[in-house]
Every structure is written in C-alpha cells, then in structure tokens.
A = this chain, B = another copy of it.
Amino acid sequence: MTNTMQRVVLAARPEGAPKDSDFRLEEAPVPTPGDGEFLCRTIYLSLDPYMRGRMDDKKSYAKPVAIGGVMEGGTVSEVIASNHGDFQVGDIVEARTGWQTHAISNGAGMRKINAAVAPISTALGVLGMPGMTAYAGMRNIGQPKAGETVVVAAASGAVGAVVGQIAKIHGCRAVGVAGSDDKCAYVTDTLGFDACVNHNDPDLRRLLKEACPDGIDVYFENVAGKVLEAVIPLLNPFSRVPVCGLIAQYNATGLGDGKNMLPVLMRQTLTNRVLWRGFIVSDFWDQFPDFEIAMGEWIKTGQVTFKEDRVAGLANAPRAFQGLLRGENFGKLVVEVGDDPTA
C-alpha cells in the first residue's frame, strides 16, 4: 500500500463541452480511517453523462461539485483498512467515492457486492445505477405492453442497452438509435433489438419512421436534440416518454437552434394524450431490491447482455469523459483505477 493517492478535481466550470483544463489531477497523502470509518481503494470508476450537470452551478436536482472538489462518481472499491464493525478488509463495495484512488467512508450509502453473481464492475452498469435507471423508467413510466414499439437513443450505452432488452422481455418491438453503423450492428445483432438507426444519417427522420411502422408507444428519452425532434411526430395515442437524460444538450450554452419546437410538442401531447415525466433514478431507490432480483435473473438466462468500454488509469478519466459526451464510448464506460482481485 502506497502512501500517496491520486484524485481528479474540478479545476474550472466548463463553458460548453468540458476540456482538459477543466480538470486537475492531484496527489495527496492517503488518509487514515477514524473510529467507525474504513479506508477503501478504488478498483473501478464509473463515468456517466449526469456528471456533466454536476460541473455547472445551475439549479438542478443535485448540488454541483465545488471548484477544487473531487469529481463525483460511483465506484467499485475494496476495503483495505477498517475500524467499522460492518465492513471488513477485503469486502468489495459499491460506493460513491468519486474520481480518486482512495477514500474514507463511514459506510453511508455503501452496498456490498457479491463477486459470485457477476463480474464486480457490473455494479456500475447493468446491475447498478444505469441498469436500475432503465428498469425504473420502464416499470414506472414507460410501462411497455406486448406488441408496442419502444424507442431508445444511445442504444449501445449503459442505460439504452438495458431499456431495449427490457422492451424485448415485455414482447415489444425495440428500436434503437446510435451513433455509428458498428454500434447499430451491435444493438441489433448482439442486444437483439429489432432495428437500430444511425443518428448521424441525414435521413434520420425517414429511417426512424421506417423502423417504426406502427409509430412509437414508449420513447425512453436520454438524449434529446435531433433524435427527440424525429420522435415527436411518430408518438402514438397514449404514448409515454420517461425523461431520464438529455445528453445532446448538456453542453449547450444557450437555447436551442432552429425553429421553436415547443408548439409542435404541445400539439402532439394534446392530440395524442402523450405522457412525459422526468425522473431521477433515486426517486425509485425503494425498488432496488426488486431490480436486483429481476436483473440477476435476466443476466442468468441471457435475456440481458452487456458490454463495457474500459479505460486504464484514473489520469485518463477526464479524456474518456469528454469522449462520452461526444458519444465516443461503445458500451458502459468504466475506468480501471486499481487491480481487480476477483478478476
């Protein structure tokens, strides 16, 4: 065990897309746990689009990261020293200890991971927050019924991949939108979606319409932008739109370009009695035990598969995160921060 730890702090609030200089890699002494505390070392760090919101100080559902503060994030970590009765050295935990190699915890919000169920990194993906986000949005808002059409963007990403696979489990037609032909091929061939449309195709509207010959009953919104604008005219009567993320506009510094789409959205909402509902995964934390049981079963039967995009080294997290916001990752983005003793 080294005596020096590393952490990535927020150096400056980004204007538009984050750049290297908005982050700073720092070193510090590894802290010592006090009474009722334990020290853990990070094995995997999750990178997720919501982190972009934490870098701004706009009013939102969560507090921003302070300038000079450690970037927030979920991790899979190992307990390496403990003065806490419930956590022993060697325990693997899912934690929210952020972009750093080591952290002290009193156990609040920690969840022990059973490495026998699935690879421990899945606690950041299909068996963690992104998987739960897909599950909660579909269960509580999307409410897919057999024969309906479900559309999700970022379909090869951590949330979108699960949304489409849940749609298939419910007997729906699953249509993805993704950012490259390779991703589209993965979405249909490996994940089992019925169709996937490349959002970089200038014919996005026509292609999406062709992929949804019976219209759209559920649109799981995690992207916004041009995908949303292509979806709106296709929404069916009594369709549902869980609004979970807006990655295409996270870096926006002003209002949208182009014509004002608000009247079009409102007309469609009224005419087709569309339901839109924003949600945050934590609104439904009480359903996490249900999720763990269902998802564990789906993984076991192969009804849900997953893909990780691994990046080596904490120092590379800022670059990888910038790429995530541009859609450059392919699968759940995970940073390998320290050795995985279960691998």
Residues of chain A having any CB pair with chain B under 8 Å: 59-61, 221, 224, 228-229, 237, 243-246, 249, 252, 255-267, 269-280, 283
In the complex with contacts A252-B263, A259-B256, A278-B283 CB distance below 8 A? no
A235 to chain B, nearest CB (A): 10
A224 (CB) vs chain B CBs: closest residue: B266
Q: Per a CB cutoff under 8 Å, which of B60, B228, B262, B280 touches A228?
A: B262
Complex CA–CA separation, A239 to B273 (angstroms) = 18
Q: Per a CB cutoff under 8 Å, which of B61, B221, B263, B275 touches A224?
A: B263
A216 to chain B, nearest CB (A): 15
Complex CA–CA separation, A311 to B261 (angstroms) = 37
Complex CA–CA separation, A256 to B260 (angstroms) = 5
A76 to chain B, nearest CB (A): 27
Complex CA–CA separation, A212 to B229 (angstroms) = 32
Flag if A271 contacts B278 (CB, 8 Å).
Answer: yes
**Additional A-B contact list (9), CB under 8 Å, known A60-B271, A246-B267:** A61-B273, A243-B269, A244-B270, A249-B266, A256-B264, A258-B260, A260-B261, A260-B262, A275-B275
Flag if B262 contacts A273 (CB, 8 Å).
Answer: no
Q: What chain B residues lie within 8 Å of A257 (beta carbons)?
A: 260
Q: List 12 A-B contacts (CB under 8 A).
A: A61-B273, A224-B266, A228-B266, A244-B270, A245-B270, A246-B270, A256-B259, A259-B260, A262-B262, A269-B278, A273-B277, A275-B277
Q: What chain B residues lie within 8 Å of A267 (beta carbons)?
A: 246, 249
Complex CA–CA separation, A61 to B277 (angstroms) = 22
Q: Per a CB cutoff under 8 Å, which of B61, B256, B274 touches A271?
A: B61
Q: What chain B residues lie within 8 Å of A255 (beta carbons)?
A: 259-261, 263-264
Complex CA–CA separation, A246 to B263 (angstroms) = 9
Q: What chain B residues lie within 8 Å of A60 (beta carbons)?
A: 271
Q: What chain B residues lie within 8 Å of A280 (beta carbons)?
A: 270, 273
Flag if A274 contacts B277 (CB, 8 Å).
Answer: yes
A61 (CB) vs chain B CBs: closest residue: B271
Q: Which of A61, A267, A274 has the most CB of B within 10 A?
A: A267
Q: Which of A237, A243, A258 has the most CB of B within 10 A?
A: A243
Complex CA–CA separation, A269 to B141 (angstroms) = 14
Complex CA–CA separation, A271 to B52 (angstroms) = 13
Q: Which of A61, A246, A271, A274 has the most CB of B within 10 A?
A: A271
Complex CA–CA separation, A60 to B269 (angstroms) = 11
Q: What chain B residues lie within 8 Å of A256 (beta carbons)?
A: 259-264
Q: What chain B residues lie within 8 Å of A61 (beta carbons)?
A: 237, 271-273
Complex CA–CA separation, A249 to B272 (angstroms) = 16
A205 to chain B, nearest CB (A): 15
Flag if B266 contacts A246 (CB, 8 Å).
Answer: yes
A249 to chain B, nearest CB (A): 5
Complex CA–CA separation, A200 to B228 (angstroms) = 32
A84 to chain B, nearest CB (A): 34
